[in-house]
Chain A
């Protein structure tokens, strides 16, 4: 039990010393969700791995130490006193409780960043349907299908709608996901400081072609994005 407590104390201390990485951000003071998520994941993994290892090692030790040596051998001589019962109930309960509070607090920090969209975000509307995605640019008259083009170095906010059933917008490399629910407008946002192509795909079961419901997010330099928008204006928005 004492070792259990000590290791937990160490995790707590580590968490106090290592908060730097969880405040990582891009140049403009916008949090980087990928780094935030990965850091939180990493801390949580250390936490559960340590608990798991302690449990596993203690179990293996007891399994070996108290194996039956003679067929008539019996245990059962060990009884906990009332104080022992209290101790073995309350102390683990408080350790777990402390860990829960710690994890909930960590979670809250990152959750705030996920749910508060940075002010200068570029807004895109995505409407999901069976089985594809319409990507609309509210300020332009542009509608793309299964493709999203967004400017680099500017956070992007996605407003999600659904035409028929519940879908879910998931971009694994950007660590974002949210459901598109009929009759509701939900939202998510992501960073774009690394250009390139990213996948987005549906993660709420929606029938026959659920697994074929995916598209590409292209993050392009701002100048290229402006040019792309102007191109489409000239063509009247249709592609």
Chain B
């Protein structure tokens, strides 16, 4: 049925109804793309407002600290739940996975549609923050008892998390099944794209841990609206329970975000260096599975000063430091892939290189956070936002934007504007480093985070102002990036099937954009095929013209 609908649409032009009810993984991917970038844009506007507010001591653009707190709540919740997780496990998973493994679609297309609907409902619910009279002001962490006693609408937070959580679990079931059962004949486990491994493991983590977050946020709404006392100290509950439950999910969530981002970077680096992955097996078993193994047992490093026993802190110090082993292997893999390659610096590759440097700073500044003694001084200061913006907001956004540039010709059938793309990269890279490096500097000097105002720290006003200017550079960069895409969509030159000269299935076996059903016939992969099979002199044999879509 769906195929009939698709082909009719392609002939008849745009139809909103058919986009909403689509079960085509590429269209669902694009719906995720639009939703997650929209969440990113609104969260970004919140960030600009907050930075402007902080540029001077005292009220700058709002007199009401509560307004600022709502901005901050929305920024955090939207960036993680609305932008990063859906962009990576929604958009990239949907668009790349079936194409990379040579499948016609995902295993359960209708479940996939349900998943994107739930996500959009979650986004709409999150946006209601700006409509309801008492918006949530509980930060994305939602710590009780504050989230229980506040005037703000905690239920909105709970239901947003639940909807996006359900969406994510549906996606997880779908993609695990797809990857396990729908690979093209000849694609053995040892020949999977790095991205496929990363998304597979990310979904494993997601499926295990999301229910814990769902439980935790449901419990705060029970406490608030139904009178239970899970976190009410006077009735025998404790806030530390919530903090444990929350971070038991939300730390692994970092790896749900990091792994697919790394996967995208691996694809980009391999393609633009025209090189096979350096130490594929070592990265896979040591790096990726190492992160999965450790990801769930390090959460207490968020709680060193929260009132947990000392022995628990000390165990988690060591376990958290151990994360440096798999993550270090993953980084060596990216840098090693450059070795004896032939690197071309197109826009996606610039983002991949940017990722390496940003992640280097972000990853290494995570080490002091693992050390409980150092943590005492720097936790809940600007150091923490500085650090996690490097790791998550910057590195991962560079992977998402770089990945979007990389997939742009395949997705739209047109090329983006290369000059604007490079300019956008430079602005973003410079702005991001000014903003977040200074944020870390201020943190070590003692500036606490989540502050609407800072009359007790008059000496920080100068640096705060610089940080604000840095954030404006980021804004400028974002506008240029958007312009390069809009230009590409409207006036970009036509893209060929494989503009990058990649060896991966989504480029070699299907035209740009891929038709419904993706491949004319099921790709048959030979013994010596590999998504990274460069340097074997087969470049000339690549199919070109016959991949162009047949015009009706």
Say whether A108 faces chain B, with CB atoms less than 8 Å apart: yes
Give the residue of A72, A99, A172 whose beta carbon is less than 8 angstroms from that of B446: A172
Say whether A139 faces chain B, with CB atoms less than 8 Å apart: no
Say whether A194 faces chain B, with CB atoms less than 8 Å apart: no
Say whether B478 faces chain A, with CB atoms less than 8 Å apart: no
Say whether B137 faces chain A, with CB atoms less than 8 Å apart: yes
Residues 88-103 of A, flagged 1 when their CB comes within 8 A of B and 0 if not, give 1100110011011101
Cα–Cα, bound, A181→B240 (Å) = 8
Give the residue of A59, A114, A201, A210 whose beta carbon is less than 8 angstroms from that of B335: A59
Say whether A238 faces chain B, with CB atoms less than 8 Å apart: no
Contacts of A177 in B (CB 8 A): 305, 376-377, 379-380
Give the residue of B234, B310, B342 whose beta carbon is less than 8 angstroms from that of A183: B234
Residues 299-325 of B, flagged 1 when their CB comes within 8 A of A and 0 if not, give 000000111001001100110011011
Given contacts A40-B374, A165-B146, contact A66 B340 (CB under 8 A): yes
* A-binding segment of B36-44, B110-118, B277-285, B409-417: B277-285
* In contact, B279 and A80 (Cβ under 8 angstroms): yes
Say whether A138 faces chain B, with CB atoms less than 8 Å apart: no
* In contact, A103 and B339 (Cβ under 8 angstroms): no
Given contacts A96-B324, A183-B233, A212-B455, contact A78 B364 (CB under 8 A): no
Say whether B10 faces chain A, with CB atoms less than 8 Å apart: no
* In contact, A111 and B286 (Cβ under 8 angstroms): no
Interface size range of chain A in the complex: 35 or more
Residue of A nearest to B535 (CB): A76
* In contact, A73 and B279 (Cβ under 8 angstroms): no
Cα–Cα, bound, A47→B373 (Å) = 16
Contacts of A165 in B (CB 8 A): 143-146, 149, 239
* B-binding segment of A8-16, A49-57, A120-128: A49-57
Say whether B218 faces chain A, with CB atoms less than 8 Å apart: no
Residue of A nearest to B366 (CB): A48
Contacts of A175 in B (CB 8 A): 376-377
Give the residue of A59, A183, A206, A210 whose beta carbon is less than 8 angstroms from that of B357: A59
Say whether B489 faces chain A, with CB atoms less than 8 Å apart: no
Give the residue of B360, B371, B376 whose beta carbon is less than 8 angstroms from that of A103: B371
Residue of B nearest to A48 (CB): B364
Contacts of A101 in B (CB 8 A): 318
- Can you show 14 pairs from A to B with CB atoms below 8 A apart? A59-B335, A73-B274, A74-B534, A75-B535, A88-B279, A111-B310, A184-B238, A184-B240, A203-B379, A205-B139, A207-B137, A207-B150, A209-B65, A211-B454
Closest 4 CB pairs of A and B: A183-B233, A172-B446, A76-B535, A76-B534
Task: Name A residues whose Cβ lies closer than 8 Å to a Cβ of B.
Answer: 36-37, 40-41, 44, 47-48, 51-52, 55-56, 58-59, 62-63, 66-69, 72-80, 84-86, 88-89, 92-93, 96-97, 99-101, 103-104, 106-108, 110-111, 114-115, 164-166, 168, 170, 172-173, 175-179, 181-184, 186, 199, 201-212, 214
